[in-house]
Structure formats: C-alpha cells, structure tokens
Amino acid sequence: MPTIIPFRAVRPTRDKVGLVASRSYETYSKKGRKFRMDRNPYSFLHIVNPGYKYHKEITGKKAFKLVRNRYQEFKEEGVFLKEEQPSFYIYKIIDRKGQEFCGLIGGASVFDYENNLIKKHEDTLEDREELFKEYLDTVGFNAEAVLLTYPDNADVASIIQETTQERAEYEFTTTYRDTHYVWPLSNPKSIATIQEAFKQMPQLYIADGHHRSSSSYLLAKDHQQNDPDYHKEATYNYFMSFFIPESHVRIHEFNRLIKDLNGLSKEEFLIALDTEFRIENRGVAAYTPSKKHHFSMYLDGEFYSLYLRKSNYNFKNTLEALDPQILYKTILEPILGISDLRNDARITYAGGKKDMIYVKSAVDKGEYAVGFGMLPLTMEELKQIADDGYTMPPKSTYIEPKLRSGITIYEF
C-alpha cells in the first residue's frame, strides 16, 4: 500500500562528496562547527550556517533566505550536480565496529503519512513543525532524510545486493571511521520492482524524523489549499526518506541525568524508591541492567540496581510496559517532580555512545545529582506502540544509522 518514488537528487560531484558531507547541524558544538568551516570551504555546514560568511550568528527565520542563497552558490560553483533521471539511491554504511546498515533513499508520500500508512510513535511540537515548514518552503529543498523502516523483503534485498556489486558512485570514510557508499539506481525495471514490493507492505514506521515528516505534510497541505497549480504528483507531496529494512536498524537507549533530588536527602530519596523497587547497592563498578523493567542508577559515587517490584507488573497497555514510561511514572514525576519531560531544565538525556560511564562522569563533576540507565527498546516495542496509537516519552530511542547531510538533496 505505501507509495515510494525515485527522484532527481541534487548531489555533490564525486571528488567533493567527502568534503561536503556533514553531520546534522545540531550535533556540533559551536566551536566544532567553526573549526570545520574554517578549514573546509565545501562543508554543507556553510549552507545551513550562512551567517559564518559575515562573521555573525544568524538564526531562525532571518537565516532561511540566506540558506537558500548559499545553496544556490554551491550549485553555481559546480559543487553540486542534478541527477539526469529519477533514481533511488542505495546507501550503505559500515561503521568502525564492522556493523553494516544498508537501505535506499527515495520519496515517501504525504498522503501515506496522512492516512497512517506511515506510522508514528512520537509526539511533535506544533511550533517546531511550523518553523520547519516555513524553512522548507523558503529554502526549497530537504537535505536530511526521514528514517523509515520496512519489513525485510527478498525482492528489494536482491536488487540492493545486485547493485552493490558494482563500483559505488561515492565511497568515503569519516573521522568517526565509518565508511559511506552510495549507488544511484535508475533502471526502470528495478525501480518498478521496488515500488511494487512496497505496495505489498501494510505500512512503514518512522524510526527517526517525526518533525521532518510532519512539517513536510503541513507544507503539502498549504500548497493544496493555496496553490492554483496544485496536483498530486507535485514534488512537495513527497518527502525524502531513507527506507531501511528492520533487521538493519539499531536502537540504543537514552539515559537520564537529573540535576537535583527535588529537596530530598540521599537517604530520603532511597527510601522513596523502595516503595516501587527492590534496591541493591552495586558499589563503584559500573552496572548496566540485564532485563526489562530493571534500571541502573548512579548516585553519590555508587551504582545501584533498581528492580521494579513484580507486584507492580500490572500494565494495562503497551505504553505502561515501556521502561522509559515506567521510569517516568515511578521516579521522575512522583519523586523528583519532573512532569514535563520535554521542557524541564532539570533533566538531560544522554544517548548513543553516552553510556553509564558517561553518566558517572557527569554526576562526579557535580553537574547532576543522579543518573539512570535502562535497556534499549526493541523494534517490536516501537512498532507496537505505533500500532496501538500511543506515543513514547521523549528521547526513548537513539536510532542508528545516522546519514550524513548534503549527499542527496530533494528539491521541491
């Protein structure tokens, strides 16, 4: 049932792709961005940080037209080219540990998003949706793909396998020691086979990119209402997505760091926890939970294991059984007084490679009073939450792979 389309990507020339490609803008520190931009005139960061040219920080709506200008300059200077014919783009990453992630980049339909053929598991913020919608409308392109998962499919896998035997159009390694490969796929027969395979799937799931997909949907609705030349096949009725089989997705946990104990002493806090958890002091050795509904905690120089008491295993739905929700409902909200997980400045989330050793370091520095860890969620949990119409607490999943920006660009 889902519809996916090939498109004519704007992309870097082969010789410059490794220079253009960047991580997402927000993943860099201010100092890190400047360091890279000072030394690399081709970095995509120059497009999304246009104030650099004027030695001035420019953000928000004022920056949108300047982003468009920088983008046009890259095209005029021949850094980018436009694909001659509509293509899918097979994208493979082999990370430093030898893990392989491989899928294809194409366009996903806003109508599938509207009709819940593309399923969500996360809430979006209205003001952020509107801001990014205006950004897309002003700059006229999207350079970061939404990550959509699909059930492993033999026909799609066969085409990917066959295509990746050829020389890649792009092959470059990042300073993270991840190697990226891209193959354009424009063969009409292969494209038709892939599209037919996706039409046979019941639905797709958003793994990462809820705001990007919702903003793209809002932009399409605006055009539908205001554009006299509106038609269903217009490019703004699709959004660039990285379609990846479920077996290639890696889900990591987000650990929680809390600035204070909400006025409680250490002893009072531990006694409060005892109502819901069986607590064991693990000493100074780093501890990571081994089962669902078990949590690790670092407090005052020591690790603790927290086992949810089995008398509390009376979950009424799939959301209540999620570990991030359990942590919220048993500790963060009732004991530590954190009810707004998105906006409360007392809580910080540590995802990806920021494990319990990172949590320990942050607490030992005095930046936080306590840290919590849990096991990562599974793909089955993510899908079930989406199927049941629930939304997870914010920062419940840190999902890989992470594509580089500026490698394939979707124009409206």
In the predicted model, is pLDDT for residue 125 greater than 80? no
Using alpha carbons only, give the angle 322, 326, 341 rounded to the nearest 5 degrees: 95
pLDDT of 339 higher than 90: yes
Q: Which pLDDT band, with edges at 50, 70 and 90, does 128 fall under? A: confident
pLDDT tens, position by position, 201-214: 999 999 999 999 99
pTM of the full structure: 0.92
Mean pLDDT score across all residues of the chain: 95
Least confident of 56-70, 90-104, 141-155, 171-185: 56-70
d(CA 32, CA 382): 33
**pLDDT value at position 88?**
98
pLDDT band, very low/low/confident/very high, at 352 (cuts 50, 70, 90): confident
Asked if residues 45 and 36 have their Cβ atoms less than 8 Å apart, the reply is yes
* Closest-CA residue to 89 (of 177, 221, 191): 191
The reported pLDDT for the residue numbered 185 is: 98
CA angle 344, 347, 349 (to 5 degrees): 125
Tell me which residue has tokens 């109502």. Answer: 275
What local confidence, expressed as pLDDT, does residue 403 receive?
Answer: 95
Q: What is the pLDDT of residue 288?
A: 93
Q: Which residues contact 209 (CB under 8 A, 6 or more apart)?
A: 144, 145, 146, 147, 241
Q: Which domains does the chain have, with CATH numbers?
A: 4-250+400-411 (no CATH), 254-375 (3.30.1760)
Give the mean pLDDT of 274-293: 95
User: Are the beta carbons of 390 and 321 closer than 8 angstroms?
Assistant: no
How large a percentage of the chain has pLDDT more than 70? Answer: 100
Whether 353 has a pLDDT exceeding 90, the answer reads no
Banded pLDDT at 382 (limits 50, 70, 90): very high
Q: What is the mean pLDDT of residues 141-154?
A: 97
Instruction: Kindly indicate the confidence band of residue 236, based on its pLDDT and cuts at 50, 70 and 90.
Output: very high
Provide the pLDDT for residue 214.
96
* pLDDT of 110 above 90: yes
pLDDT recorded at residue 60: 83
Of the candidates 411, 374, 406, 409, the residue with the CA atom closest to the CA atom of residue 393: 374
Quote the pLDDT of residue 72.
Answer: 97
* Integer-rounded Cα radius of gyration of the chain: 23
Over range 356-375, report the average pLDDT.
97
Mean pLDDT of 149-162: 98
pLDDT grade for 21, boundaries at 50, 70 and 90: very high
Q: pLDDT tens across 36-79, in order?
A: 999 999 999 999 999 999 999 888 888 999 999 999 999 999 99
